[in-house]
Structure 1
């Protein structure tokens, strides 16, 4: 019988301790639900533990091969370059280990269902969905492919759900920003707008959405 590989969760990192702890709690819960599976998690920057420390933890537990998964919504710079480079360094530091590298999470049907639940919490049941425009706000990136994935998520969220439209905005590094996105909604004739952050955890950027 083939033994499944261990699991390494790679996070972005944040200066917001609540967001970092939410990631660490997610990793702990994943390990609790799957006691047969060695699970560790680390960050690429800003927050402890660093990714290298998480790899070392798995190695100390006797792990020789693992699946590394970026806990990110889009294929931005970290998922494309920084995490693979860090994993390559760890392979040199720990001879004999091997790994496979997974894709970022979105847009996935399970994430769309989460977005649906968040919308249901924000929309008054008395509102006519055909009069509601959703503004999906992503992180924003200098990588156009990453921004395009947010637009794809917006399109998939709109399909078959009866909303007037699902528009897209970004909190940094890409246009439109949140004020620009709201202005576009108004110019398109939106009567009610729900701003829906597209983030996995709390932190500085989700807070910035509210400020904008």
Structure 2
């Protein structure tokens, strides 16, 4: 077995639609090509092998440290509960290996750059690329975690401030509201002549397929409005660069390079409500809390 000081474990969500899992594996193959000296592995939270538990145990073999990186845009239960709990179990099974947990991708300027680029392309595809008469809808998964939904709201606001569009709305495909159809109805009522739908998704899957069907139905329902819809993010350079920065920060021990402490609070509350496995955990390194 070849020894690597660090193993980078990328954690994808996983999809019932195998094409989405294939895309994540292809992303990993491209990242390995970018960083041929790194040992990069992948696992999935659900729907695809290897599982999160199996991926953590396998990554620890022959590694002094495992750098766990969620390939996830917004932090909700998976990021705040399931991955940390799986890391705890892996620490118990692999006491000779250090596990470091980096942040999810988050709302940040690199993600904003992807959205701005996709919005420009969508506008160029329209007959009348006038931002004053074109509504924009940022469409994401939705969560029961208000902070995760708040990150999407932040991205919508940043997108509006970065351009000339007077209307950048937020919609969700599930869990919370408003839904795409209701937001389109509102934009139609105030006179938007064109609407751009920007999916806030990393990879394809059943939800992306549903979004494309929804947009086709909306085109038939609102023939007076021209629609343009972008695709999921896929293999954007900004995603690779963000993950590479996460690796560098973890290796350097940069402050704030790990999951914030509020993840622990989230898990405590969820456990009290009967969710999750246990909050009895020991961190490899103690949290550093700022004075109140």
Residue 23 (structure 1) aligned with residue 24 (structure 2)? yes
* Secondary structure of 1:5 counterpart: strand
| Structure 2: runs of 5 or more not aligned | 215-292
Please give the TM-score of this superposition, normalised by the length of structure 2: 0.68
Q: Kindly report which structure 2 residues correspond to 1:54-93, keeping only aligned pairs within 5 A, or say none.
A: 54-60=55-61, 62-93=62-93
Instruction: Give the Cα–Cα distance (whole angstroms) in 1 for the partners of residues 210 and 187 of structure 2.
Output: 19
* Secondary structure of 2:63 counterpart: coil
Residue 10 (structure 1) aligned with residue 11 (structure 2)? yes
* Secondary structure of 1:205 counterpart: helix
Which region of structure 1 is more displaced relative to structure 2, 130-139 or 27-36? 27-36
Give the superposition deviation at 1:160.
2.7
Match of 2:100 in 1: 100
Task: Give the superposed CA RMSD.
Answer: 1.7
Q: Kindly report which structure 2 residues correspond to 1:126-205, keeping only aligned pairs within 5 A, or say none.
A: 126-205=128-207
User: What is the number of residues matched between the two proteins?
Assistant: 209
1:38–1:58 Cα contact (<8 Å) kept? no
Match of 2:39 in 1: 38
Listed one character per residue, the Cα deviations across residues 83-116 of structure 1 (whole Å, up to 9, x for unaligned) are 1111111111212111221111121211111112
Instruction: Give the Cα–Cα distance (whole angstroms) in 1 for the partners of residues 200 and 174 of structure 2.
Output: 13
Looking at CA atoms only, which structure, 1 or 2, has the larger radius of gyration? 2
Q: Spell out structure 1 runs of 4+ moving beyond 3 A.
A: none
Instruction: Give the Cα–Cα distance (whole angstroms) in 1 for the partners of residues 86 and 57 of structure 2.
Output: 13
Instruction: Give the Cα–Cα distance (whole angstroms) in 1 for the partners of residues 162 and 37 of structure 2.
Output: 40
1:10–1:41 Cα contact (<8 Å) kept? yes
Give the superposition deviation at 1:184.
2.3
Give the superposition deviation at 1:191.
2.3
Instruction: Give the Cα–Cα distance (whole angstroms) in 1 for the partners of residues 31 and 208 of structure 2.
Output: 24
* Secondary structure of 1:68 counterpart: strand
Instruction: Give the Cα–Cα distance (whole angstroms) in 1 for the partners of residues 84 and 194 of structure 2.
Output: 42
- Distance change in 2, residues 1:160/1:117 (3 Å): closer
* Secondary structure of 2:124 counterpart: coil
Give the superposition deviation at 1:72.
0.6
* Secondary structure of 1:123 counterpart: helix
Match of 2:284 in 1: none
| Structure 1: runs of 5 or more not aligned | none
Please give the TM-score of this superposition, normalised by the length of structure 1: 0.92
Instruction: Give the Cα–Cα distance (whole angstroms) in 2 for the partners of residues 160 and 78 of structure 1.
Output: 30
